Amino acid sequence: MSAIRTPNERSCTRCGRHEEWNEEEGTWTVVDEEVGDVYCIHAWDITGQFTPVEQ
């Protein structure tokens, strides 16, 4: 068994947007002004952490 880890950081594999989870605000906030493309359909790179088993 492995503990489920809540990600606190994520980045988009398409436009490079970089976000960090702000616990106080309860929202994702942009890191280092890397906002990426506002028209991008963001593909966050954290998906793998939620589904470690691929079949």
Nearest of 54, 51, 52, 49 to residue 6 by alpha carbon = 49
d(CA 52, CA 27): 25
Nearest of 41, 52, 45, 39 to residue 18 by alpha carbon = 45
Contact letters for Zn ion, residues 1-40 (x by CB under 5 A) = -----------x-xx-x------------------x---x
Residue 8 CB, shortest distance to Zn ion, in Å, is: 18
Q: Choose between 1 and 38: whose C-beta lies nearer to Zn ion.
A: 38
Residues that bind Zn ion (CB under 5 A): 12, 14-15, 17, 36, 40, 42
